[in-house]
Structure 1
Amino acid sequence: MNKKNPLSASEVGTLWLTYLEKTLILRILEYFIAKSDEEQPKNIMGGLWQELDYYIKKIEEVFKGEGAAIPVGFSKTDVNTEAPALYGNGFDIMLVRILKEISMGMYTINMNMAYRDDVMEIYEGLTSITQKIYKLSTLYLLGKGILTSPPKVTLTKHNEYVESKAYLSGFNLFKENRALNDIELGYLHHGIETNNVGMQLITGFAQCAKNKEVKKYFLRGKELAKKQIKIFEELLIKSDIQSTASTGSTVTTSTIAPFSEKLMMFCVYILNGFGIVGTSFGTIFSLRSDLSMQSALLAKDIYFYAQDGIKLMIKNGWLEEPPHMEDRHQIINGKSDQ
């Protein structure tokens, strides 16, 4: 059947990116499993490792069946499980939860770009695993008091419609802005929560990086995360709401890298994409103009930070080139190496 229905360009592209992301997560899990001294987190991460490893092999089978090159991704050479603990207890599952949140969004997009049964089955299976691990991680973190739920609100007793364009205003000098609605509050809380995890992750990366440009890049990312947290917290405080998002854990004093700089840079690259999407949702669904403007400005900052990261990966030979269509201009001029 597959010979009659070869992989489409979109399927090759999404499988390629999925392979890179999953091999990266396997290496991260291997390190955190080695450092964990609690049974429950080890079981969560160990179960995830086994299931992801199965689907990595499935993707390899698809590429082999088509005679296509298997991506390099990330291997055992990109992780040092003997490195000392870089993060305190609890951070491992906080990071797993964020990575699974990213995966849920990616699988939805990938499924929408899949046309072959075997490719759709891969994303169906990965989606099921991701939702299960996300739930287990959330419940574990809540039970340990590491993760806190968003602020509680007084429930609305009756329905209302917006009666004035003033509802959209967030820049009125003569009166207080309207109270945050629950959708806006949720995005702000989520932004603080994810940036807390990102700030700690990249702080650890900065401590371990030996390349001066990479270290400088990570420190810049740390400041960008702090900036976002500060903005979101100030918006909550102005609405008389105290942020309940926890910091998750602590970074140790270790300066021995558990991961290659190639892996750390690609991890930040993935998180940058997640950050751009998250702030874009905040821009679209926040109905107060000041919130939308802040989200748009932050998305711009993340975009330019991400672009500089891509250039740094290219400079160091760390950015694997995605599969691409034939270059007809080169073929016509006899310059193709195919």
Structure 2
Amino acid sequence: MEKSIHDARLTSSEIANLWTQYMNDSMSICVMKHFLIHAQDEEVKSILEFALELSHRHLDKIKIFLEGDQYPVPIGFTDDDVDLEAPPIFSDKLVIHYMYIMTVHGLSGYAGSLNTSIREDQVEYFIECNKEAMELYRRITKILTEKGLIDRPPNINPPEKPTVVKKQSYLTGWFGKRRPLNAIEVSGIYFNMKKDVIKICMEMASRQMTKNKELQDFFKRGEKICDKQFDTFNKMLSESNLPSTSKLDDQVLNTTTPVFSDKLMLFHVLNLLSTAAGYYGVALALSQRRDLGASYLAMITEVLKYAEDGMNIMIRKKWMEEPPMFDDRDQLAKKKK
């Protein structure tokens, strides 16, 4: 009798999806548990409670999936990586904006995981994860809107009728008069600015909390990179007489007590950098003005170099957990029988 697909082993893509989600959710649990203890706003508390419930549920299911395939469960992050008695580091306003960006990351990640899943239980699991993330996103945007905290992208005036591009100058941008940005380009710029805002706050907070001089310098460098890229985006919008999004630096509190372990803070910043490079790549592909493409390429290069330096610190300090690896056939061949 032919073996059912449900009983088939997890594919490498499915293991990668589960491993990555376990690392991210175990980190998120540490962060959200601390946020929840110090949250003052009841609606912000409700978001954190719901998100925490989802993350705990995910870890339980991932353990079952991996153990069922006799695959080791990642170390991830634990209560040892957070001091729940430490003072707050983010205001409630910054917490809800942070949760907004992290939920967007989750939506993108779950969509990718679903697209690379084959086994029936994996497909069903990531469909459910997507539904949960969509509900979390709905709740967060509702709160942001009702509290007047959401920065809406610029409005656009409708043309009299649809038109077609008539000149090659539509693509130029380095020399001479630049055409105004189109809605697709502004969407990418505006959203990437929102992500930069959270990266800056996370790097600022991490620099305050760590006692390690090397990490302080690393996080400071990240702040400068993100500030520069934010200003580049701001200039793009300003040239088309469009408003920018607001920064939230003032919502990082003055706590210097280490809330999170150095390992967690560095992992978190590297995680944000990884997703930033991905979103920059998407915006690059959709930008139709050459100068925008060149700017995104420069940003991606800068972010990836910075991220590589952070990964080298992780490796040197033995903090970097190795992702699922294929066998090294040359090494296997050298093993003595």
Amino acid at match of 1:227: K
What does residue 112 of structure 2 align with? Answer: 109
- One-letter identity of the residue aligned with 1:20: M
Show the 5 A alignment for 1:255-274.
255-274=256-275
Q: 1:284 to 1:2 in 2, by over 3 A?
A: closer
Q: For residues 104-150 of structure 1, what are the alpha-carbon distances to aligned partners after superposition, in whole Å with 9 as ceiling and x for unaligned?
A: 11112111211111112221111111111112112212222222101
Superposed CA deviations along residues 24-69 of structure 1, whole A, max 9, x for unmatched, are 1111110100110111111111011112211210110011111111
Query: Is the CA contact (8 Å cut-off) linking 1:146 and 1:248 kept in structure 2?
Result: no
CA distance in 2, matches of 1:202, 1:335: 48
**Which amino acid in structure 2 is aligned with residue 33 of structure 1?**
L
8 Å contact 1:33–1:45 — kept in the other structure?
Answer: yes
In the alignment, is the contact (CA less than 8 A) between 1:5 and 1:116 conserved in 2? Answer: yes
Q: How far does residue 246 in structure 1 lie from its aligned partner after superposition?
A: 4.8
The one-letter code of the counterpart of 2:37 is: A
**Do the aligned partners of 1:149 and 1:245 also contact (CA within 8 Å) in 2?**
no
- Tell me, in whole angstroms, the C-alpha distance in 2 between the residues paired with 1:273 and 1:129: 23
Q: Distance in 2 between matches of 1:3 and 1:189?
A: 42
- The 5 Å alignment of 1:273-292 reads 273-292=274-293
1:38 matched residue in structure 2: 41
In structure 1, runs of 5+ residues without a counterpart are none
In 2, Cα distance between equivalents of 1:96 and 1:221: 21
Q: 1:80 aligns with which of 79, 83, 86?
A: 83
Query: Structure 1 residues 233, 76: closer, same or farther in 2, change over 3 A?
Result: same
1:50 paired residue number:
53
Whole-Å separation in 2 of the counterparts to 1:240 and 1:216: 36
1:266-298 CA deviation, whole Å, 9 max, x = no partner?
Answer: 111111111101111121111111111111110
Q: Does 1:316 align with 2:321?
A: no
Q: Any idea what SS the aligned residue of 1:145 has?
A: coil
After TM superposition, give the deviation of residue 330 of structure 1 in Å: 1.4
1:252 paired to 2:253: yes
Bigger mean CA offset, 188-197 vs 311-320: 188-197
Q: Which amino acid aligns with 1:114?
A: S
Distance 1:335 1:320, change over 3 A: farther
SS at match of 1:252: coil
Please state if 1:159 is matched with 2:162.
yes
Identity score, percent: 26
Residues 306, 153 of structure 1: alpha-carbon distance in 2 compared, 3 angstrom cutoff: same
Aligned to 2:306: 305
Q: Output the CA distance in 2 between the equivalents of 1:36 and 1:310.
A: 32
How big is each residue's C-alpha offset from its partner over 1:228-267, in whole Å with a ceiling of 9 and x where there is no partner?
A: 1100111111112221445386111110121111111111
Aligned equivalents of 1:47 and 1:248: distance in 2?
26
Q: How many matched pairs?
A: 334
Please, what TM-score do these two structures have when normalized by structure 1?
0.95
Give the corresponding residue for 2:68: 65
Matched, 1:230 2:226: no
Q: Is this contact kept in 2: 1:19–1:59, CA < 8 A?
A: yes
Task: Calculate the TM-score normalised by the size of structure 2.
Answer: 0.95
The runs of at least 4 aligned residues of structure 1 exceeding 3 Å deviation read 1-4
Distance 1:75 1:196 in 2: 27
